[in-house]
């Protein structure tokens, strides 16, 4: 029971961090979003609220957090072979891209369609059960399926990097990869455009991904 509660606590912290990052706050402020996902969010939001009222302190704190995050990533990088880290970064980015596409699809349609369910069942078996269990345990929360996907991929697909102590390095270098910038920029562009005029038919993930990689 204790372990199950601990996992849920970590998942909630991770969801809060990712949700806050997607609102546009500089990701360099949140090294734990790249690595340590188990710290209480009060440790982040209390100092953040203070810094917002003091721009100079905000900039200094931002720079300090950025330096600490970089040092930690460089230290952790020594725990994994370069080729393995590079391959895992690519996999990490691909799943982040899929989460962007999933978010666009669900927000545009207003529901999770049958074809989307089929894609999720094929691409990430077990995920929908995970999301359903979370929704049942948290009936008052909005059902952000894309957030549940990020949690699920961390726990199921990138747990080795956590266990071996290089999860922060993985997130640090992935979020600074040009491919991640392309996916994020394309997601923002599509989100703005689709709110004004939804596409006649939603693109597949593969089509959306290729378009994103052409984004400059």
Residue 134 exposed, middle or buried by CB count within 10 Å (0-12, 13-18, 19+): buried
**pLDDT at residue 48 in the model:** 52
| Residue among 67, 56, 55 nearest 29 (CA) | 67
pTM score, two decimals?
0.74
**pLDDT at residue 90 in the model:** 97
**pLDDT at residue 98 in the model:** 98
How many domains, the chain? 1
| Residue among 12, 195, 190, 4 nearest 102 (CA) | 190
Range of the domain at 38: 2-213
**Distance (Å, whole) CA 186 – CA 180:** 10
**Distance (Å, whole) CA 96 – CA 107:** 16
**Distance (Å, whole) CA 3 – CA 40:** 17
**pLDDT at residue 25 in the model:** 33
Cα→Cα distances 93→87, 133, 176, 204, Å: 10, 26, 10, 17
- Sequential pLDDT tens for the chain (216 residues): 323 334 444 443 343 334 333 333 333 333 334 444 334 444 444 455 555 566 777 778 787 888 899 999 999 999 999 999 999 999 999 999 999 999 999 999 999 999 999 999 999 999 999 999 999 999 988 889 999 999 999 999 999 999 999 999 999 999 999 999 999 999 999 999 999 999 999 999 999 999 999 976
**pLDDT at residue 47 in the model:** 53
């Amino acid at each position: 029971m204790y372990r199950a509660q601990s996992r849920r606590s970590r998942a909630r912290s991770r969801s809060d961090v990712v949700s806050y990052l997607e609102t546009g706050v500089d990701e360099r402020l949140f090294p734990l979003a790249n690595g340590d996902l188990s710290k209480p969010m009060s440790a982040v939001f209390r100092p953040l609220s203070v810094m917002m009222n003091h721009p100079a302190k905000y900039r200094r704190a931002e720079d300090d957090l950025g330096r600490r995050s970089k040092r930690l990533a460089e230290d952790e990088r020594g725990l994994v072979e370069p080729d393995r880290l590079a391959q895992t970064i690519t996999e990490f980015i691909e799943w982040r891209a899929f989460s962007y596409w999933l978010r666009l699809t669900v927000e545009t349609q207003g529901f999770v369609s049958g074809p989307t369910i089929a894609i999720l069942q094929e691409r990430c078996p077990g995920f929908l059960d995970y999301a359903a269990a979370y929704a049942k345990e948290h009936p008052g929360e909005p059902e952000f399926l894309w957030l549940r996907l990020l949690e699920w991929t961390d726990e199921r697909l990138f747990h080795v990097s956590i266990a071996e102590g290089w999860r922060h390095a993985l997130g640090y270098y992935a979020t600074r990869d040009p491919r991640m910038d392309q996916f994020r920029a394309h997601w923002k562009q599509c989100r703005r455009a689709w709110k004004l005029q939804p596409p006649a038919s939603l693109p597949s993930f593969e089509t959306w991904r290729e378009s994103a990689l052409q984004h400059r």
